[in-house]
């Protein structure tokens, strides 16, 4: 859920793990999300909130994470966006500011045998879904502003940030100071 994430479901079903307190086939009802979010927080070392309004369900996940002693990261957004009010509030409350996957990796002291941009070999990466390929195709080897890429992508800010985070975690793009984004060697066209 949502239906657009069915490729993630299939990927997890094939080579990952699906966990729920409810039987397989239970519809994704909104009132079940807090229980799901509690499980997510419990399985995570940290929670990264990319976009959230002040009444977002993501803040329920943050509450569960705090109760379980997890670290909280928040990605800043446009100052006048309702969808960024929750992340800005989290930063004001003490969440760690994150503008790239490397910020989270470095803060948590994780080591993947190289830098975040070196950790994935292009020849070993799985085929990307079309939306990831589309965004990767507009990112250049030289730094470009996040806003320019967001505009060129035609996506909503939330979807763009989600795709960008996935590309960063795959080691295909990197965000540098000033919110500038470029491809890595692995992500070059």
pLDDT digits over 15-29, tens only?
A: 878 788 888 888 888
β-strands 180-183, 144-145 pairing: antiparallel
pTM above 0.75, yes or no: no
pLDDT above 90 (res 113): no
Query: Is the pLDDT assigned to residue 186 strictly greater than 70?
Result: no
* pLDDT above 70 coverage of the chain, percent: 88
User: Residue 139's domain spans which residues?
Assistant: 122-183
Residues 28 and 91 in one domain: yes
Claim to verify: residue 84 and residue 152 sit in the same structural domain: no
pLDDT value at position 73? 95
Q: Is residue 124 predicted with pLDDT exceeding 50?
A: no
Kindly state whether residues 8 and 88 are assigned to the same domain.
yes
Choosing from 64, 98, 132, the residue where a domain stops is 98
Query: How do beta strands 71-74 and 96-97 pair?
Result: parallel
Q: Which of 43, 64, 98 is the last residue of a domain?
A: 98
Of 37, 47, 50, 38, the residue nearest 86 (C-alpha): 50
Could you identify the residue written with the tokens 């975040």? 116
- Verify that 41 and 126 share a domain, yes or no: no
C-alpha closest to that of 50 among 167, 174, 187, 165: 165
Distance CA 45, CA 184 (A): 26
Structure token digits, residue 174: 């990197």
State the sign of the Cα–Cα–Cα–Cα dihedral 117, 155, 145, 104.
negative
Among residues 98, 130, 146, which one ends one of the domains? 98
Query: Which run of H or of E encompasses 6?
Result: helix 6-15
CA distance 147 to 180: 9
């Amino acid at each position: 859920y949502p239906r657009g994430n069915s490729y993630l479901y299939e990927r997890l079903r094939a080579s990952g793990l699906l966990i729920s307190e409810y039987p397989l086939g239970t519809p994704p009802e909104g009132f079940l999300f807090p229980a799901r979010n509690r499980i997510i927080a419990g399985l995570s070392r940290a929670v990264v909130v990319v976009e959230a309004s002040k009444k977002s369900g993501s803040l329920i996940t943050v509450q569960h994470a705090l109760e379980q002693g997890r670290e909280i990261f928040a990605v800043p957004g446009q100052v006048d966006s309702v969808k960024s009010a929750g992340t800005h509030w989290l930063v004001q409350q003490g969440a760690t500011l994150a503008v790239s996957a490397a910020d989270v990796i470095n803060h948590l002291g994780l080591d993947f045998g190289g830098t975040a941009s070196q950790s994935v070999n292009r020849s070993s990466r799985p085929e990307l879904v079309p939306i990831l390929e589309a965004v990767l195709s507009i990112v250049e080897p030289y730094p470009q502003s996040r806003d320019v890429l967001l505009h060129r992508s035609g996506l909503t800010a939330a979807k763009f940030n989600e795709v960008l985070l996935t590309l960063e975690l795959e080691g295909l793009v990197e965000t540098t100071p000033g919110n500038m984004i470029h491809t890595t060697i692995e992500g070059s066209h």
